Chain A
Amino acid sequence: MKPRVQPTSEEITFLPNEIIVSKTDLKGRITYANSTFSRICGYSRAELMNAPHSIIRHPDMPRCVFKLLWDQIGEEREIFAYVKNMTRNGAFYWVFAHVTPSFDNEGRVAGYHSSRRVPDRRVVRDVIEPLYRELLRIEASHASPKEGLAASFAQLMSIVKSKAASYDELIFSL
């Protein structure tokens, strides 16, 4: 394992016509990363290949968002999520991630694919950042990580329910 990266306040951005692409196996280990990914996160492809996707996880991300992500792709459904990632040197970059399952020739799920685009800064600033802060606070407020995750997930679901018919619909309405 590499030494723990300390997050900094430096923000990295990329262009609207660029896509950060990665593919993982069923366990979330990276099997492909495009050059944009490598350039933005600062890890070389050699470092990225076979690394867990959580290598770029930022501590500001609530865990319940990833639970929702895994739940949904586990049901072979696509998911969109605003994600704050961390670069090799602790800088952060916001993406609007689209995660979908990849199928083999027999129609079985063989892995996952993620395309990340430049997010709408207004949505990130006005909705996502305050929401994630709140979810993170709930997660931190519980002694057991399991309970914290359950509580923040329940909160996320209740917010979704109060605003739209589903999480997907809510995300697309932002």
Chain B
Amino acid sequence: MTNSSSRFEAFAPGTAVILLLAGAAGALAADMPLLALSLIAAGIVGVAAGVVIALRLHTAVGRSIRVARALGQGDFETRDLVFDQWGQAGELTEAINDMADHIDAFVREASAAMEAVRLNRYYRRILPNGMEGALLRASSTINEATDMIQERVQAFEVSTDEFGATINSIVESLVNASRDMGGAATRLGEGASSTDQRATDAASSSSMASADVQRVAHAATQLTGSARDVGREIERSAAIAQDAVSRAEETKRIVAGLSEAAEKIGTVIGLIEQVAGQTNLLALNATIEAARAGEAGRGFAVVAQEVKALASQTAAATGEITRHICDVQSATRAAVGSIVGIGGTIAEINAITAEMRGSIEAQIDATTEIAQGVSNASEGTRQVSDRISGITGIARETSTLAQSLFSTSDALSAEGDRLSVTVREFLVRLRRGPLDRRQAAERVPGGHTVTITSERGTATATCVDISLTGGRFAGQLPPLKIGDEIQVTGEKDIAIPGTVRWIRDNNIGVEFKVAEMTPAASNRLRYLVGKGRSKAVAA
């Protein structure tokens, strides 16, 4: 039906009634009562038709108002279901339904497209077909926004990928470095410990060496003393020998004098022997003379006889003396030979002594030098000892440092791991997107009994509320501290890992470790949250 026909529908009965009434008035004026009556009757029929049309329009308008109100209240399901009416009523119905259909289609499209964006599905676009005017423009705007979000998310993905890769590489370097550092610290500690041991050994060796050196120094000093004593003895021996040499020379001279005296005695004895011989001869002559002289000469003969006996005795005595002198002379010669031998021996002794003196002096010099050297050595070993003490100190310090380095490297490694986990979780959360986070954080009532297990103990608690990322638990809790890693086990014996984030009275807040959950734990959690949500809706 067209607009002109609609207008016709609205105006036709009124116009007809007016024309009929005008005609009736004219008929009355022209004194034609039958015509006037017919015209009035037709006018009444027209009025009745107008009333029927008005009532139909009125009910159609009523239905349209109901649909329009429903639309206004966000109910896009209601339609005017009285179809196929002729005229404006039908047109109104179709127009209202058409409007509802288009708004309905737009809302469904827009929410589906936005839902897809929420789920990080960017291929979903609003279909422009069937949309016109503002709806089409809004659709285009949403599609453009989706395009832009997609671009940004892709850029964001690239950035987070790069960031993740960079952090991972940093963490890897950090962990490697700390591992190397730990290794180095271990080696350093071992080195320090070994240095300490060696220094201690060296210190004890050095201390022993020092004692040895001290003993050597002492011995050297004693040796020098002994050498000096020996030198003095040798000097005395040399003096005695020298004395002996001069005495031997003197003895030689005395013996030589003795030999001369013996020679002279010999000469005298020769003379005596000559005299004795001549006397004997004279006695013999006197005896012969006395014998010639007879009696007168008898007395004389006796004397001559006695003289002769004396001469014989003298000769015998001189012979004996000569023999003795010979003995003396040979003894003297032997003595001289001996003395000469003694002199040679003493000279040899002298020479040896001189040599010995030189040796002793050299020895004294040497022992003095040794003593000096030993003294120096002693100083040296003392210094070595001191330095070794220093080294021991340094080694111990190094050991302490190595220990602390080791702890640091451990801590560093742990920090690196923590950084890595944190960044991974951070990236996971970032990628999940803010809308998803909001949904994930939506808390629903719990009510079921769970077992909470931590390193400090196990206890049974009640879940107060729960979301996809965490939960609140109350009741008999095991002793817990903020930051404790726990396992929350529910009815199905499925453990959900988490970290205690806060503790108040008998309540704890637990953040679930989404990244570490098993698929079973994830599903269970989703199921619980879904159940809680429907429970909340039902309530």
Contacts and interface: CB of A to CB of B under 8 A. Distances in A.
B123 A117 contact: no
A19 interface: yes
Nearest to A32: B79
Nearest to A171: B123
B77 A34 contact: no
Interface in B86-126: 94, 97-98, 101-102, 104-105, 108-109, 112, 121, 123-125
Interface string A79-118: 0000000000000000010101010001100110101011
Contact of A168 (B102, B105, B123): B123
Contact of A19 (B77, B83, B105): B105
B105 A111 contact: no
A72 to B, nearest CB: 12
A170 B84 CA distance: 40
Contacts of A19: 101-102, 105, 129-130
Nearest to A99: B108
B112 A78 contact: yes
A35 B98 CA distance: 8
Interface of B: 76-77, 79, 81, 83-84, 94, 97-98, 101-102, 104-105, 108-109, 112, 121, 123-125, 127, 129-130, 132, 537
Given A21-B105, A23-B79, A111-B77, 15 more contacts: A16-B130, A21-B104, A34-B97, A44-B84, A45-B84, A46-B84, A49-B81, A98-B108, A100-B108, A102-B76, A106-B537, A115-B105, A115-B130, A168-B123, A169-B123
Interface in A13-42: 16-19, 21, 23, 32, 34-35, 38
B108 to A, nearest CB: 5
Given A21-B104, A23-B77, A117 B537 contact: no
A75 B129 CA distance: 26
Interface residues of A, number: 31
Given A17-B130, A21-B104, A45 B83 contact: yes
Q: Is the interface of A mostly helix, strand, loop or mixed?
A: mixed
Contacts of A117: 127, 129-130
Given A115-B130, A172-B123, A172-B124, A34 B101 contact: yes
11 contacts: A17-B132, A18-B130, A19-B105, A19-B129, A21-B101, A34-B98, A35-B83, A45-B84, A100-B108, A113-B108, A115-B105
Given A16-B130, A113-B108, A46 B101 contact: no
A116 B107 CA distance: 15
Contacts of A32: 79, 81
Contact of A110 (B77, B104, B105): B77
A47 to B, nearest CB: 11
Find the residue from B105, B127, B130 having the highest chain A CB count within 10 A. Answer: B130
A173 B123 contact: yes
B264 to A, nearest CB: 160
Closest 9 CB pairs of A and B: A19-B130, A45-B83, A117-B129, A172-B123, A21-B101, A115-B105, A78-B112, A32-B79, A169-B123
Contacts of A34: 94, 97-98, 101
A102 B100 CA distance: 14
A16 B94 CA distance: 19
A161 B497 CA distance: 34
Nearest to B82: A45
